[in-house]
Amino acid sequence: MKKILVLGSCGQIGTELVLALRDKFGAQNVVAADLKEECPENLSNGPYIRLDALNKELVRSYIIEQQFSDVYLLAALLSATAEKNPDFAWKLNMESLFIILDLAKEGHISKIFWPSSIAVFGPTTPRFNTPQYTVMEPSTVYGISKQAGERWCEYYYNKFGVDVRSIRYPGLISYKSLPGGGTTDYAVDIYYKAKAGEHFTCFLKEDTALPMMFMDDAIRATIELMEAPAEQVKVRSSYNLSALSFTPKQIFESIQKVIPSFTVSYEPDFRQAIADSWPASIDDSYARENWGWRERYDLDKTTSEMLKNL
């Protein structure tokens, strides 16, 4: 029987992933774990444990004792936060991964999900329709850590047969929990301001296109990839995954169709340079061909869901 651990469960992705996994596999079979002392209310329908992903001894003994089959490792410092604390970002993003990869190598875990990001690409990568295999020279601490992580995932798969699966998430848009310090956070914040009837000041320029995705699509993709037969999972570094690509101006116009009085101004900060180094759109044909990925949300449908649920 499946027993799942989601480590880093209280963030933007973890909150929704835990709920979706509990729906599918039963609440008692999905343990949420995070640094946070208290279990957030929205995860209180199942088991929760405080666990530091960097505490090697504790993580090892807990996973071995509880006999988890699948581990989703979500604990990380995100792009904007990582730039402010590079040493710690490297430590957290890499060491936590090695702890889990080694447990799988030793046979204590059957399957790992570890998220990568469009941040693995850099300024020398083709910006439009960025291919799965292309130039990758990330220029952020976060991107460097994700690219290194991808290489190690593939290495553990090839060398030790570790069943590790990964997606290069684009910017994720959700209403159940707040984003955790990324460069695409504006595309969530803008809906909060619109819904509150306030003006929005955007930290990116109006014409900065970035790949994005509504959270429901991202969660469904994650579970579909994890449930795909192993032989269909041909990319063992990380899959490109795409749904939307839009600029701050386009998301503003999508919101204005619903709230005509909404206003936006643009004051780019240090995150503009990060965004400029990332792709504008992604070619995800491997995910489509290998395990049947299809998105369901376009920009207007995302806007409608966000404004309805916030």
Q: Which residues are catalytic, by number?
A: 142
Region 193-212 residues binding ligand NAD, contact defined as CB under 6 A: none
Apex 174 CA angle, 171 and 179, nearest 5: 65
| Strand residues in 15-76 grouped as ranges (E) | 30-34, 48-50, 70-73
Task: Round to whole Å and give the CA distance between 265 and 278.
Answer: 22
Considering the rule CB under 6 A, would residue 13 count as an interface residue with ligand NAD?
yes
**Smallest separation (angstroms) from ligand NAD to the CB of 47:** 15
For the window 23-42, what string marks contact with ligand NAD as x by the rule CB under 6 A? -----------xxx------
Burial 6-34 (b: 16+ CB within 10 A, else e): bbbbbbbbbbbbbbbbbeebeeebbbbbb
Element (H or E) spanning 111, and its range? strand 111-113
> Which residue, 181 or 258, is less far from ligand NAD as judged by CB?
181
Nearer to ligand NAD, 36 or 258 (CB): 36
Q: Binding segment for ligand NAD among 52-60, 199-207, 266-274, 279-287 (CB under 6 A)?
A: 52-60
Q: Give the strand pairing for 167-169 and 210-214.
A: unpaired
Q: Which residue's CB is nearer to ligand NAD, number 8 or number 138?
A: 8
Look-up: residue for tokens 């395990």? 291
CB-based contact 33:6 (threshold 8 Å): yes
Ramachandran assignment for 105, one of left (phi > 0), alpha (psi -120 to 50 degrees), beta (any other): alpha
Nearer to ligand NAD, 14 or 122 (CB): 14
Q: Does 169 help bind ligand NAD (rule: CB under 6 A)? A: yes
Could you list the beta-strand ranges (E) of 143-263: 163-165, 167-169, 171-173, 200-202, 210-214, 239-240, 244-246
Determine if 223 is a binding residue for ligand NAD (CB under 6 A). no
Query: Which residue's Cβ lies closest to ligand NAD?
Result: 11
95: Cβ–Cβ under 8 A, 6 or more apart, which residues? Answer: 54, 56
Q: In 3D, which of 153, 140, 120 has the Cα closest to residue 282?
A: 120
Under rule CB under 6 A, residue 117 binds ligand NAD: yes
What is the smallest separation between the CB atom of 197 and ligand NAD, expressed in angstroms?
A: 26
Among 63, 78, 112, 194, binds ligand NAD (CB under 6 A): 78
- Under the binding rule (CB under 6 A), the answer on residue 287 touching ligand NAD is no
Q: Which is nearer to ligand NAD, 84 or 257 (CB)?
A: 84
- 11 in contact with ligand NAD (CB under 6 A): yes
Site residues for ligand NAD per CB under 6 A = 7-8, 10-14, 34-36, 52-54, 74-76, 78, 92, 115, 117, 169, 171-172, 179-180, 182, 184
